[in-house]
Amino acid sequence: MQKHGTEVTAKWYRFSDYTILEDAWSPKAPPEMADHYRFIRPSPNARLEVYRPTVVPAGDVLPGDKASDPIVAVNLEALQELDLEDENAILAWCRKFGLLGILPHTTISIRLAPRWLKGPGVDPPGHLLFPTQMQYFRTNTGWKAIEVSKLVGKEECRIEVDEEYPYDDWYDRIVEPGDTSLRSGAVVTPLFSDHYEEMELERAIGRYFPSIPPETRAAAKYPMPGSTDFWYQYGESVAQFRHAVRGFKNAVEQLKNIGSLSDAPADALRSLSQGHAQFQSLLSASPDIFVEPDGSFSPQWGFSSLLAMFALSIWQYLIGGKSIRHCKQARCRKIFVNKQHNQDYCSKKCRRTDEKARQRRQIAEARRLYHQGIPIEEIAELLETGLQQISKWVERTVEGQWRIR
Ligand SMILES: [Zn+2]
């Protein structure tokens, strides 16, 4: 494969098929809240695949390795082309890219509810059970799980298994808060923010697991983010998905080029600074390394989420000297990355639309002037248009109709 300086490959997960399922446990939600309880989930029997998205700026088309291994390019255009109002389009998009990874992106650490377990270093069949907690931490190259036992401390209890406390009754049972100093919870940073907060598990994590009954979400055995089990149970609600994509595009939009900062109006500066902070919260790429089958190393990157990959593609544009702009076409106004200097439109289509509109205005003006009896030579001069063109515009058929409409 041809190597490009800007190419970054990473690893992400997707299912062969997705569907939208109601959260069966939620009370009937009011219609305007319904999309918070409708989750994008793998279809029954869908296959989990690990794929290697390529984070490339828009327009830089990369040749594929082979026809059976198509490049999945992560860039602004892939988000722009997604119609968020069309749920079938969202599902098709997820089949290509997978879910956005909102939980792995916004969560820093997770501490599950402590359970009565044997604890580290105690040889089975140990007759003692200790409060033991599974903790997950996000690292630069992925998630790590650590099991922590509290053996000492004045709040710590232990259970000696005997006839009164049968092993089968107590093993893996949740420890009451009064019997341990270990606390469950998660440290999260909401999307597009730079705040960190400690949150209860059901609120931080539980809402991404629609198949877990709400009353057990505080103490559920959540799988480690990024694990196979995780992907089978994880879901993003339609509302979360839309919020994340819209927020991403909004953050990028605020990074649009405003020229020299010293000449920029205060509101433009405010918007840029806000976009900058939001964008930074999305950047989380770490260099990683991939060992090729022949023993050589190739560069790979670790990301906390698919959102972070999209952010890196924008980062590449910006450091490459390109800028974010609004399409000049009034009905489009889409954000795009300018590939050429002085590019005002997102597409040829938008440029043609405006050219046609400009021409229609000119024709109308030429006819108005002509109607006032102004000679066509003068009209041509006023409108800075060729004489031949003007005479075509003002020419009428024998029935008195305009020839050109
Ligand atoms: Zn446009």
Instruction: Kindly indicate the confidence band of residue 293, based on its pLDDT and cuts at 50, 70 and 90.
Output: confident
Q: Which whole number is the average pLDDT over 97-113?
A: 97
Look at residue 166 and tell me whether its pLDDT is greater than 50. Answer: yes
Q: Which whole number is the average pLDDT over 262-287?
A: 91
Residue 391 CA, chain-centre distance (Å), reads 54
Q: What pLDDT is attached to residue 61?
A: 44
Residue 15 bridge partners (DSSP): 48
260 CA to centre of ligand 1 in angstroms: 25
> Does the residue 404 lie in any domain?
no
> Does the residue 327 lie in any domain?
no
Q: Which whole number is the average pLDDT over 128-146?
A: 92
The last residue of one of the domains, among 159, 194, 223, is: 223
> What is the Cα–Cα distance from 54 to 25, expressed in whole angstroms?
38
> Does the residue 358 lie in any domain?
yes
Nearest to 330 by CA among 306, 303, 351, 302: 351
Q: Tell me which residue range forms the domain holding 375.
A: 348-394
Would you tell me how many other CB atoms lie within 10 Å of the CB of residue 65? 12
328 CA to centre of ligand 1 in angstroms: 7
Question: Are both 159 and 140 inside the same structural domain?
Answer: yes
pTM of the model: 0.80
338 CA to centre of ligand 1 in angstroms: 12
Question: Are both 374 and 281 inside the same structural domain?
Answer: no
Would you tell me how many other CB atoms lie within 10 Å of the CB of residue 325? 18
Question: Are both 98 and 241 inside the same structural domain?
Answer: yes
247 CA to centre of ligand 1 in angstroms: 20
**Terminal CA-CA length for the chain:** 52
- Can you say whether the dihedral through the CA atoms of 304, 92, 323, 262 is positive or negative? negative
Q: Which whole number is the average pLDDT over 243-251?
A: 95
Question: Are both 313 and 370 inside the same structural domain?
Answer: no
Look at residue 256 and tell me whether its pLDDT is greater than 70. Answer: yes
> Does the residue 297 lie in any domain?
yes
Question: Are both 357 and 376 inside the same structural domain?
Answer: yes
341 CA to centre of ligand 1 in angstroms: 16
Instruction: Kindly indicate the confidence band of residue 17, based on its pLDDT and cuts at 50, 70 and 90.
Output: very high
Look at residue 271 and tell me whether its pLDDT is greater than 60. Answer: yes
What is the dihedral angle through the alpha carbons of 258, 262, 264, 265, rounded to the nearest 10 degrees? Answer: 160
Look at residue 57 and tell me whether its pLDDT is greater than 70. Answer: no
The last residue of one of the domains, among 172, 190, 223, is: 223
324 CA to centre of ligand 1 in angstroms: 13
Question: Are both 272 and 352 inside the same structural domain?
Answer: no
> What is the Cα–Cα distance from 367 to 336, expressed in whole angstroms?
37
Instruction: For residue range 63-90, list pLDDT tens digits in order.
Output: 443 444 567 888 888 998 899 999 999 9
Question: Are both 116 and 201 inside the same structural domain?
Answer: yes
Look at residue 398 and tell me whether its pLDDT is greater than 70. Answer: no
> Does the residue 211 lie in any domain?
no
- The two three-digit tokens of residue 2, written as one number: 């041809």
Q: What pLDDT is attached to residue 60?
A: 46
DSSP letter (8 states) at residue 171? T
266: which residues sit within 8 A by CB, 6+ positions away? Answer: none
Question: Are both 387 and 298 inside the same structural domain?
Answer: no
261 CA to centre of ligand 1 in angstroms: 26
Split into its structural domains, the chain has a count of 3
Question: Are both 360 and 298 inside the same structural domain?
Answer: no
